[in-house]
A = this chain, B = another copy of it.
Amino acid sequence: MSHSIFSKFTPKEPKFFPVLKEMSEVMVKAADLLIEFITHYDHATAADYYKKIKEQEKKGDALANRVFDELNKTFITPFDREDINQLSSRMDDVTDYINSCAKRMVLYNPSRMPESAVTLAHLIKDGAVCIGKAVDELDVMKKDPKHVIAYCQELHEIENKADDVYEHFIIDLFENEKNGVELIKLKGIVYELEKATDVAEYVGKIIKTIIVKYA
């Protein structure tokens, strides 16, 4: 609406989509590192893995800040300002939870890593890849939202699977781990993994809200 009036006075529409795409790549990279870290969990290499994941987390932060700054400078945005900000903030949260899990692994130094943690790390990776595909479709979504809708559905299913894995882990942990300190360590670490899949699903919900508004 205001486009016709203001377009010549406002800067060119910034490229939000490529930045969001970069954020999803950071997420995938962090998830790959986490899978390696958890699968080959070893106190000797833990600090190294955490450092590498932390680098991704910082990249993600910088990208989210770029989105935020651009939003404040830009008059016309492809979707509601607040929706883009939510989308990038929640995408950043996925990477944050991956980082936070890695950090806890280093700080808590548990004596073992449960199999469920490996499974959850793989589900996080699946979610990150799925978000990447959804982001690829954002610019054509107004014309044809069906692929994006399918990706949002997939994120929901991933979260359901993660829920299941987490619940079985908790039941098993409380039944079999008699060492209170070790229980606290593992519960705290695996909790962050489950949170990462939660927030990945939430990214899908934000995208669905955008679809409702624009598609």
Contacts and interface: CB of A to CB of B under 8 A. Distances in A.
A116 interface: no
Contacts of A171: 107, 109
A212 B103 CA distance: 32
Given A72-B212, A109-B175, A183 B183 contact: no
A188 to B, nearest CB: 9
A98 to B, nearest CB: 18
A181 B181 contact: no
Interface residues of A, number: 23
A63 B64 CA distance: 33
Nearest to A166: B107
Contact of A184 (B72, B109, B183): B183
Interface string A169-190: 0110011011111011101000
Given A69-B212, A72-B212, A174 B185 contact: yes
Interface string A181-205: 1011101000000000000000000
Given A180-B184, A181-B180, A174 B107 contact: yes
Interface string A64-106: 0000010010000000000000000000000000000001000
22 contacts: A72-B209, A72-B212, A72-B213, A103-B167, A107-B167, A107-B170, A107-B171, A107-B174, A108-B170, A108-B174, A109-B171, A109-B174, A109-B175, A174-B185, A177-B181, A178-B181, A179-B180, A180-B183, A180-B184, A181-B183, A183-B184, A184-B187
Name the 8 nearest CB pairs between A and B, nearest first: A180-B180, A107-B170, A108-B174, A180-B181, A107-B171, A72-B212, A181-B183, A107-B167
Interface of A: 69, 72, 103, 107-109, 167, 170-171, 174-175, 177-181, 183-185, 187, 209, 212-213
